Amino acid sequence: MTGCNFSEKKDGETLMLNESAYYETEGVNVLVFSNWYNGYFSDSKMSGIEVIHHGQRTVTNGDVRLNHTPEQWDPIPKFIKKEVDSVNNIVDAWLEYPEFNYRIHTQPQGDFLLISVHLDEPLPRELEGKAGFNLEFLPAAYFEKTYLMDEKTGIFPLYPSGPTSVDKAGNTIPMPLAVGHRIVLAPEDDFHRITVESEQELLLFDGRNKAQNGWFVLRSLIPAGKQGKVIEWRLKVSIVEGWLREPVISFSQVGYHPSQKKQAVIELDRRDKGLSRAALLKIDEHGNRKTIFEGPVKMWGQYKRYQYGIFDFSDVSEPGLYVVKYGDLQSRVIRVDKDVYEGVWHPTLDIYMPVQMDHVMVNEAYRVWHGASHLDDALQAPVNHEHFDLYAQGPTTDSPYRPGEHIPGLNIGGWYDAGDYDIRTQSQYHTVLRLVHAWEDFDLFRDETLVDQENRFVDLHHPDGKNDILQQIEHGALALIAQHRAVGHAIPGIIVPYISQYTHLGDALTMTDNLIYDPSLDSLEIRYPYSGTFDDRWAFTSKSTPLNYGSASALAAASRALKEINPELAKECLETAIRVWNDEQGKEPDIFYVGNTTGGPLLLEEVRATSELLITTGEEKYAGRIRELWPDISQQFGYLITSLFPALPYMDEDFVNQVKERARQYAETVDSLKHLNPFGVPITEGGWAGNGTVIENGIANYMLYRAFPDVMDKESVFRAFNYILGCHPGSNISFVSGVGLHSKKVAYGMNRADFSFIAGGIVPGVLMLKPDYPENKEDWPFLWGENEYVITVAGSFIYLANAIQSLVEEL
């Protein structure tokens, strides 16, 4: 970026570049390539020219695209560079496709922002009629609103119903809802009205006709045979004079124990002068509200685009129902009682985890969540193949099977990784580990679910006399042990071969015919249990030492839990874990890293496996190996706490003392988080929001507190849990569906097309869009980086929820 001195506002101009290098005026921000498409998952609806309109991001992906309504995996350009001329209020971005390059130029003109596309050379002939400038509008922001295209009126459709056509190849082609040269979106709504005018033809499309996660798309085609400035739009965004974002009062949506620290974090527009005091009102049985406490709002300062104040009402300890009153604004109800944390993990174990179970039918009363899917698992993946969703196969299969050959025995156990249906091994072993330690550390027993492995049937709200958490551990262990039985080592995972299957929504049973693929049969021919339909998942089998260690750690841990319900499996799990550890210790590691499917860092995975084997067997060789690794562990201490600390009781006193001294240094780092943001937790800023990091940090701090209560403050554990349950930037919603008074009701699971939720699922949370915008959309589930449930976080949440319960029992 060039330029650092920001100019004074010129007469007649509304939008000006601010210190963060995006255009701003009252209630409106226009970002120009502040964010970029996700390199692994292509179009993540967070790039190009974007508009944050009265506090909500409603426009994105202002860029040249090669499709009328691009889908996630359609081609995206390569970003070259961006230049900011703060003196003249100009932003330019240079990008390229393999066939051509271009520049996007933005500059305010009065109330409009001029957006133009510039080519050095005319479009290649094969891209004529395909390449154009697109701007995408969030459907949820324009539902039940109208538009004007020139003089023609229209209503934004609540549900897509065309128009579409079909090309000569049989592909669906979206047709425009309206065509013209001037469009006004939501003319009736001062908070959402946007005007675009151009000499080039404007075409309005509904991107949901081809993909449920599509947006409304406004588009102009690049004219054939032209160069220089080939498209120019004039964009005007409505302004509500005097608009200030309403304060957000954030707190734990499940409430607080009477004796714990209680704080509400009040998030304010940075232009808001704020109030110096707030009050706590108690609600009686007749609905009357009485002020029982008043106190100062201590200003914390600015974090990202908002300023924050903290209202501490810890002195209030009487059980009851309360609201925070800040000026004329009153919060949702806050519960104060001794049992507020009891059972907050039940929906995760009772509903979310069973719903994610693969290879079984999952029933809930009158509803079938899905049938027993993927009983045809799995075919050996092709070699030298880079797949989607971060999977790849190396130059050999590292298995006894040829590419395309069926690998028997992989059709048992495991959970769907996330909102898709793959079996990601890293997710399986992480979840098993967290569940085992939750069961051990908190002596958990709960029976709400029937699990019948033999008949592949699961029934929610149907006790079967068995401990549900042990049955879930068994289900995960079955998937892990199946890999070792089949190919002799852990594998990256199992996933469908086609994008068309990967984007499937609905019952996973309908993805395949559950019959093993036989290429010698005709495409519709069936000779049970074989068919000629190529719909089987692929098993990616490249060997990775870190992955092997990670799998061994979970198998060793599972062996302790499964002694109660499946002693034969427990014995096999432990024997397999020991064999893997011995094999890997005796050779150079196999390092095959691809995305996030081939294991974590080698040190992490070896420490995990060694610790779990030490806990399970008590053998000195494992303790000795941990001592050998200590210098490296110390360097990455914070990252390895949850892997190391369960084994501390099995280590000698001198080693524990070394760990304690290192823990003192780490505790200072944890304490410093209070100065980085008003929530006092590590908030990540990548393309995937950070709830998983916050929960893992809470678990680490809990383990530290339990081991060294004079070193670690348990309040850091409460801060992590409060963050997940509502005390975070952007909103005050609980990120655990169905947990807390106000929780996520629109999320990204297999349910996302229904704008619904799966109780107990935990979403990634607040995504920090660069440079300063915290976002978690409750009206649009399809942003996976904010709203996608994953099983790893579910297992960790169960652990942290029980850790919190154990802490409040000490109050």
pLDDT in tens, 708-737: 999 999 999 999 999 999 999 999 999 999
Read off the pLDDT of each residue in 339-368 and give the average, rounded to a whole number: 98
Concatenated DSSP letters of 708-777: -TTTS-THHHHHHHHHHTT-SSS---BSBTTSSSSB--S-BSTTGGGT---TT-B----EEETTTEEE--
* pLDDT tens-place string over residues 148-176: 999 899 999 999 998 999 988 888 899 99
Same domain as 228, residue 253: no
> Which among 336, 361, 395 is the end of a domain?
336
DSSP designation for 348: I
In a domain, 492, yes or no: no
On the 0-12 / 13-18 / 19+ scale of CB atoms within 10 A, 272 is middle
Binned at pLDDT 50, 70 and 90, residue 13 comes out as low
pLDDT band at 38 (very low <50, low <70, confident <90, very high): confident
Residue 566 belongs to some domain of the structure: no
- Note the Cα 62 to chain centre separation in Å: 24
Question: Span 124-145, mean pLDDT?
Answer: 97
Contact between residue 92 and residue 107 where contact means Cβ atoms under 8 Å apart = no
Provide, rounded to the nearest whole percent, the portion of the chain with pLDDT above 70: 98
For the ranges 30-44, 76-90, 194-208, 257-271, the lowest mean pLDDT is seen at 30-44
Name the pTM for this structure: 0.96
Residue 10 has pLDDT above 90, yes or no: no
Residues 76, 218 within the same domain: yes
**Nearest-5° angle of CA 799, CA 800, CA 805?**
100
Residue 593 within any structural domain of the chain:
no
- Domain presence at residue 34: yes
Q: Is residue 455 part of a domain?
A: no
- pLDDT in the model for residue 6: 43
Q: Residue 8 pLDDT > 80, yes or no?
A: no
- Residue count (the chain): 811
Residues 725 and 661 grouped into a single domain: yes
Give the domain-ending residue among 316, 336, 356.
336
- The pLDDT assigned to 9 comes to 46
% pLDDT > 90, the chain? 95
| Helix and strand counts by DSSP (H, E) for the chain | 16, 41
pLDDT digit string (tens) for 557-568? Answer: 999 999 989 999
pLDDT of residue 11: 44
Q: State the pLDDT confidence band at 652, using cuts at 50, 70 and 90.
A: very high
Q: Which two tokens stand for residue 790?
A: 């994953």
**pLDDT, position 456:** 98
On whether residue 343 sits in a domain, the answer given is no
Q: What is the pLDDT of residue 4?
A: 39
Nearest residue to 414 (alpha-carbon basis) of 431, 390, 395: 431
**What percent of the residues of the chain are helix, what percent strand, and what percent coil, each to the nearest 5?**
30, 25, 45
pLDDT reported for residue 606:
98
> Quick one: tokens of 501?
């299957």
Q: How confident is the model at residue 219 (pLDDT cuts 50, 70, 90)?
A: very high
Q: Are residues 310 and 281 in the same domain?
A: yes
- Cα 348 → chain centroid: 16
Task: Kindly report the average pLDDT of the chain as a whole number.
Answer: 96
Q: What is the pLDDT of residues 286-324, one digit of tens each?
A: 999 999 999 999 999 999 999 999 999 999 999 999 999
Within 10 A of 603 (CB to CB), how many other CB atoms are there?
18
Q: Are 231 and 184 in contact (CB under 8 A)?
A: no
Same domain? 85 vs 60: yes
Both 217 and 330 in a single domain?
no
Q: Tell me which residue range forms the domain holding 155.
A: 16-237
pLDDT of the residue at 42: 78
Q: Which helix (H) or strand (E) holds 341?
A: none
In a domain, 528, yes or no: no
Q: What is the pLDDT of residue 170?
A: 86
Helix (H) or strand (E) holding 278: strand 277-283
DSSP 357: B
Q: How many domains is the chain partitioned into structurally?
A: 3
Q: Quick one: 679 and 808 in the same domain?
A: yes
Structural tokens at position 443: 């002596």
- Identify whether residues 159 and 285 lie together within a single domain: no
In whole angstroms, give the CA distance from residue 327 to residue 246.
11
Answer with the one of 237, 270, 289 that is the final residue of a domain. 237
Which pLDDT does position 169 carry in this prediction? 86
Instruction: Tell me: do 54 and 165 sit in the same domain.
Output: yes
**Hey, is 405 helix, strand or coil?**
coil
In the DSSP assignment, the letter for residue 352 is I
Asked if residue 288 and residue 232 are part of one domain, the reply reads no
Taking 70 as the threshold, does the pLDDT of residue 394 lie above it?
yes
In a domain, 693, yes or no: yes
Tell me the C-alpha distance between 217 and 201, whole Å. 14
CATH of the domain at 45: 2.70.98
Q: Please indicate, yes or no, whether residues 43 and 122 belong to a single structural domain of this protein.
A: yes
Instruction: Specify the pLDDT at position 39.
Output: 67
Instruction: Please give the Cα distance from 133 to 461 (Å, whole number).
Output: 52
**The tokens 């229904």 sit on which residue?**
754
pLDDT tens figures, 422-465? 999 999 999 999 999 999 999 999 999 999 999 999 999 999 99
Tokens of 588: 């150079």
Q: Residue 285 is part of a domain; what is its CATH number?
A: 2.60.40.10
> Which residues are paired to 217 by β-bridges?
136, 205
Mean pLDDT of 37-64: 92
Per-residue pLDDT at 7 exceeds 80: no
Residue 1 has pLDDT above 60, yes or no: no
Are 199 and 327 within one domain? Answer: no
